[in-house]
């Protein structure tokens, strides 16, 4: 009986901690300075995100939720891109680059894809370990929301529309 109570207490603590961690993404903080190495070898920095509303998605080809949400990420990009919205998909350091390139090409990803070979970008963005982890960055370069797991896309679209309407 004692073990069951201890295990239950641990489970409650973990769930409470995870809930606080997921809820963390509702305040504004400056997006961390990072350099993203894109599939074509070019580089983009966090400063390059300013002036657009940007979805930064940490993902992996081995993550079933990441693969499942990608059509919605593509649809969201296509819906709002002409209005000043951008998407940057950041593949995790453990994802083989050849898998990432193959995925991007076969799925015809219309947005920029970066490979975080060293894990430095994931560390800078809050030590991202779980995928998918998605951040919404406003035109001023502030993170306004984060999602761990697949976002609620209707809610995400309302937020994007609100942020696009801001000066």
Q: Coil, helix or strand for 161? A: helix
Nearest to 32 by CA among 131, 150, 116: 116
Q: Coil, helix or strand for 9? A: helix
pTM of the prediction? 0.83
On the question of pLDDT at 36 being above 70, the answer is: yes
Residues 82-105: pLDDT tens digits? Answer: 999 999 999 999 999 999 999 999
Residues 50-60: pLDDT tens digits? Answer: 999 999 999 99
What region does 57 belong to: left with phi over 0, alpha with psi -120 to 50, or beta? beta
Report the CATH number of the 27-165 domain.
3.40.30.10
Q: Between the CA of residue 21 and those of 15, 106, 139, 161, what are the distances in Å?
A: 10, 34, 24, 25
């Amino acid at each position: 009986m004692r073990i069951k109570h201890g295990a239950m207490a641990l489970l409650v603590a973990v769930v409470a901690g995870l809930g606080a961690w997921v809820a963390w993404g509702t305040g504004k903080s400056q997006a961390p300075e990072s350099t993203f190495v894109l599939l074509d070898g070019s580089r983009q920095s966090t400063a390059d995100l300013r002036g657009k509303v940007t979805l930064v998605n940490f993902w992996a080809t081995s993550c079933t939720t990441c693969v499942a949400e990608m059509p919605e990420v593509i649809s969201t990009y296509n819906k709002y891109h002409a209005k000043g919205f951008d998407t940057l998909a950041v593949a995790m350091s453990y994802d083989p680059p050849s898998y990432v390139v193959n995925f991007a090409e076969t799925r015809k990803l219309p947005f920029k894809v970066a490979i975080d070979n060293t894990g430095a970008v994931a560390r800078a963005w809050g030590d991202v370990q779980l995928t998918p982890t998605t951040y919404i960055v406003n035109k001023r370069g502030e993170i306004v929301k984060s999602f761990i797991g697949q976002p609620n896309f209707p809610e995400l679209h309302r937020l994007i529309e609100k942020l696009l309407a801001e000066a």
